[in-house]
Structure 1
Amino acid sequence: MASVTIYDVAARAGVSIKTVSRVMNKEPNVRPAMRDRVLEAANALDYSPNLSARSLAGSRSFVIAVFVDAALTIDHWKSERGADYLSRIQLGATLQCRDAGYHLLIELIDHDAPRVRQEVAALLAALKPDGVILTPPSSDNETVLGLLDKAGTPYVRLGPERPQGLG
């Protein structure tokens, strides 16, 4: 069976695809009755927005990336130290992203590798995240911060050792 598209939802609700798009993107200028009609049609059809199509149609990827240190994360996982800290960050960020219609993607960064610049640049180019959450030591890594600034990617620094303004 073919996947349900925005066109199917629009046809079932008797509205334009632009109206369906406005409802799915939680835009404010949709009458409540119209919003309900579109959501009922989407639910009846088991519709879920296609992230690839959404990102092609606009300038957002609907992805928030979290950069965590590969060595620390793996070491902590193996020894069961620090898992609570990362688990709380991941859970909180996942819940907030979900409520905002985003997906959270965790990326391990090897900060000690000579190729950290290429690694981060490749991730930014491939993922085109709408934002990045930086955990230590990413939050203090000048290379990572410089690449994010150059790309114009908004970021949040968690627990930086040196406050450097807002990302």
Structure 2
Amino acid sequence: MRNYTFYTFILSGLLVVAGLVCALALNTKITLTCVRGMDDKCVLSSVGKFSSTSREIKLSNISAAKVETHTAKFERSYRRSYSHRTTYVVALITKQGSIPLNEGTSYWNEDLLRTANQINAFLGNRGQSSLQVVQKNDDDGKLWGMILAMMGFVLGRFSLRSEDLDRP
């Protein structure tokens, strides 16, 4: 029984470490930098621990920024009922369509509206020469990190408790 307890305790430690790695590795920093000058343009860049992307957008192509709402409908098979999940995302409205700044959050906060208003104020004010907006996209990392770490703590507590029960 000691081997089982030992391996369970090791697994719990690995789950806690995996949770910490997820919390640190799955967050990204999204930056929108717009500059007026010779070539009016915006650069949308996303930087994470393992990847980074960058995209240039002509300032003349951007008409506005707004907070978009996306609702997905999921069927629950055991009750034949439906569940809805709504995400909120700040998006740039261009001639080609909308460009999301982040993956979206499942909760509404005033920072989303403030970011959209800040971009719209820059677009409307030709006298403002530059704009930089920074958003963090770390909700997924925090969620998976907490789930894995809590599973590790519960499993570790269970393995320690079962070790105490095995003693004569």
Tell me if both proteins adopt one fold, taking TM over 0.5 as the criterion: no
Considering fraction of residues, name the structure with more strand.
2
Which of 1 and 2 has greater Rg? 2
| TM-score w.r.t. length of structure 2 | 0.19
Considering fraction of residues, name the structure with more helix.
1
Relative contact order: is structure 1 or structure 2 higher (C-alpha 8 Å, sep ≥ 6)? Answer: 2
| TM-score w.r.t. length of structure 1 | 0.19
